[in-house]
Structure 1
Amino acid sequence: MRIHFIVHESFEAPGAYLAWAALRGHEVSLTKVYRYEPLPESAADFDMLIVMGGPQSPQTTKAECPYFDAAAEIALLQSAMAADKIIIGVCLGAQLLGEAYGATVEHSPEKEIGNFPISLTDAGLADVRLKAFGKGLTVGHWHGDMLGLSKTAQVLAISQGCPRQIVKYSDKHYGFQCHLEFTQDLVANLLAQETDFDQTVRHHKYVQEAELIQGFDYKEMNEKLFSFLDSFNA
């Protein structure tokens, strides 16, 4: 399978998504947006598109972030949708996928940073791609916004801080507001970008202390992510 990643920042790496692709022997290509690399010209260039996160919003303008072109990424997503490609959106990528479906990004009820449980909805429990998730599990979070819902979208998982953690837009199109790709190295890079983090912890009940985030064992959530991704080859 040919898998293309869109990576918005060096510190928002694909983590376990990239590890899975390498372990399974898939052909991998990347667009590193933060290096001003161009997006794929055509959806014919890949079988699966994985759009990663970033501090930007779908509403961020090029004046605010010159290397990020939300409109161009949404157009690529829509082209991939029309070509019946597999699409996984993560955090910002999930919000962009929602926008491609006509669903506007919204503020989450709570900022979430750290590792907190998600619970599967009835739709999530019925989704065969999530069968390894059980009724829920603890996963990574790093967001203040959440993906929008199209008329046909199904919410598959929720958390106490956010009612849209995993959203299914179609059988091949999934948005993850949460981060199952986290590793200790990845979260160390994310924490390095935070300013006044202790203050953030004090003011938000779903923001964990840095020591708890860095000391977490990410193996289980990575394995669940692998199971989800493997389902597209079943």
Structure 2
Amino acid sequence: MRVNVLQHTPNEGPGAIAAWAAMRGHDLFVYHPYTLVQALPEADETDFLIVLGGPMGPNDQLDWIEAERDLIQTLLSERKPIFGACFGAQQIAKTLGAAIVKAPHKEVGWANISLQTNVLPNLPDHILVLHWHEEMFEIPKTATLLFSSQLVANQGFIYRDNVIGLQCHLEPEQQNVNEMVMNDYPYALENNALNQTGQAILAQPVPPENKKIMFDLLDYMVQPESAPI
């Protein structure tokens, strides 16, 4: 299976998603559509689309952002699996007709999300995850709310059985967190409702269970009827 990853900043790579693809024997290709080349894969060469986070927003009037949503729309119509994190989840939600709005609180750092549905069996009730956002998606009308945090209700959704969007980040491994903090730490200092500095964020190791949960979600989207969760 060919897994195509849309990466939107050097600081936010695929992390555990790349490890999942390697362990499952899938081919992984990373595109950087925000660059001058504005590279995007074709729909017919995409078996699984991963849309990562970034400092931009879906409401920005940029050609490559709209082109991404065209690709997402095509893959939705073809019922191919799609996973989005942060900006990526917002792109999916907007493609499905939902609004992207200012979140009630800016969240940067570690905080729990709580499970809101039993659509996916055996997920933990609470997961400590990394947050790095101040906008959020509204839940698409045809999707189910998956996770909420104490400060921002819309932390995740599932659409059909092959599309998941998370406002938070389950995919980072420790090196990814290090890069995010080292290159974007001033963002954590400005009006952050979690009151965590870059140093405080680094002091919390990535919970080892996050990688397993990320693997389980990806497995579910690839084999929705039989994947272990």
TM-score, length basis structure 1 = 0.88
Helix, strand or coil at the partner of 1:204: coil
Q: Distance in 1 between matches of 2:185 and 2:84?
A: 26
- Change in Cα spacing, 1:197 to 1:32, as seen in structure 2 (3 Å) is closer
Spell out, residue by residue over 1:165-204, the C-alpha distance to the aligned partner (whole angstroms, 9 max, x if none): 111122111111010012221122112333645742xx43
1:65 counterpart residue number: none
Q: How many residues align?
A: 221
Q: Distance in 2 between matches of 1:196 and 1:38?
A: 29
Q: Does 1:153 align with 2:143?
A: yes
Instruction: Give the aligned CA root-mean-square deviation in angstroms.
Output: 1.7
1:230 counterpart residue number: 219
Q: What letter is aligned with 1:162? A: V
2:164 aligned to 174, 179, 199, which one? 174
- Listed as ranges, the matches of 1:1-234 within 5 Å are 1-35=1-35, 36-41=37-42, 43-62=43-62, 69-121=64-116, 123=117, 126-128=118-120, 131-194=121-184, 196=186, 199-200=189-190, 203-218=191-206, 219-231=208-220, 232-233=222-223, 234=227
Q: Distance in 2 between matches of 1:152 and 1:228?
A: 19
Unaligned runs of 5+ in 2: none
Report how far residue 50 of structure 1 moved. Answer: 0.6
Helix, strand or coil at the partner of 1:164: coil
Q: What letter is aligned with 1:13? A: G
Deviates more, 1:203-212 or 1:70-79: 203-212
Deviates more, 1:186-195 or 1:68-77: 186-195
Runs (4+) off by over 4 Å = none
Q: Distance in 2 between matches of 1:72 and 1:228?
A: 26
Report how far residue 3 of structure 1 moved. Answer: 0.8
Report how far residue 133 of structure 1 moved. Answer: 2.6
8 Å Cα contact 2:189-2:196 kept in structure 1: no
Spell out, residue by residue over 1:64-92, the C-alpha distance to the aligned partner (whole angstroms, 9 max, x if none): xxxx6211011000000011100111100
- Change in Cα spacing, 1:44 to 1:143, as seen in structure 2 (3 Å) is same
- Change in Cα spacing, 1:120 to 1:193, as seen in structure 2 (3 Å) is same
- Change in Cα spacing, 1:21 to 1:198, as seen in structure 2 (3 Å) is closer
Helix, strand or coil at the partner of 1:33: coil
Helix, strand or coil at the partner of 1:167: strand
8 Å Cα contact 1:117-1:137 kept in structure 2: yes
Q: What letter is aligned with 1:90? A: A
Q: Distance in 2 between matches of 1:109 and 1:3?
A: 34
Helix, strand or coil at the partner of 2:215: helix
Report how far residue 93 of structure 1 moved. Answer: 0.5
Greater helix content: 1
Unaligned runs of 5+ in 1: 63-67
Helix, strand or coil at the partner of 1:118: strand
Q: What letter is aligned with 2:113? A: I
- Change in Cα spacing, 1:198 to 1:61, as seen in structure 2 (3 Å) is closer
Q: Distance in 2 between matches of 1:92 and 1:86?
A: 17
